[in-house]
Amino acid sequence: MTNPFVHLLPVYPMIAKQILDDYKITDGKCLDIGTGYGYLGLELAKITNLEMYFVDINPEVLDKAEKNVAECRLDNIVHFLEADVCSLPFEDNFADLIISRGSLWFWKDQIKGMQEINRVLKKGGVAFVGGGLGRYTPDSMRKRLQGMGRMAQIKKGEKGFMNGKKLQEFVDKTGITNCQLIADVKGQPATWIEIRK
């Protein structure tokens, strides 16, 4: 099977660096929700001491994530968990950092998923949930990737996708406070939700 994420490989380290630069969370527990092949979580693990939980509803992609992580020879403690974001198998106030890229658009109950993330996030922790290419991706690469594959489908208005005003209306419905929306490019509609609990 061809790797559906291959065109995004240069982008994951840049998003990981953004997360480290912005939140400076280098230790503790990190959940990568809807991890897919594990690329964002593993790039973040490489530059931190975070104990990583790679979480996905699909066991097949988790197998792939486990292989990819094993190839990186990380020193971090790592876990792989098959779970639905709408009922996360973690206690309240569990994680120091929660990341989730490109998964929100697929959740059956997006409000419940965000509420679960907020529940398992520690007080003082940060969640960064949404989609996009991050702010460090060069313009030329951003243009090329936005015309390709899933990014193009999303641009065409795939079900579940939200940005800008629609994303803010969604956040308001979750009842979660201390959220702000983040855009990859200044002046463009936001595609990420940041929770600081």
Ligand X SMILES: C[S@@+](CC[C@H](N)C(=O)[O-])C[C@H]1O[C@@H](n2cnc3c(N)ncnc32)[C@H](O)[C@@H]1O
Chain residues in the site for ligand X (CB under 6 A): 5, 33-36, 39-40, 56-58, 61, 84-86, 101-103, 106-107
Q: Which residue has its beta carbon closest to ligand X?
A: 36
Least distance in Å: CB of 127 to ligand X?
14
Task: Indicate the residue among 44 and 167 with the shorter CB distance to ligand X.
Answer: 44
CB hemisphere CA count around 143 (13 angstroms):
3
Give the nearer residue to ligand X in terms of CB position, either 5 or 192.
5
State the angle between helix axes of 59-71 and 39-46 in degrees (0 to 180), rounded to the nearest 10: 30
Q: Whole-number minimum distance, CB 192 to ligand X, in Å?
A: 12
- Dist. CA 103–CA 190, nearest whole Å: 16
Residue 102 C-beta: closest distance to ligand X, Å: 4
Q: 139: which residues sit within 8 A by CB, 6+ positions away?
A: none
Shortest separation between residue 35's beta carbon and ligand X, angstroms: 5
DSSP bridge partners of 123:
none
Tally of helices (H runs) and strands (E runs) in the chain: 7, 7
Residue number, 58 or 76, with CB nearest to ligand X = 58
Q: How far apart are CA 184 and CA 197, in angstroms?
A: 22
Which CB sits closer to ligand X, 111 or 124? 111
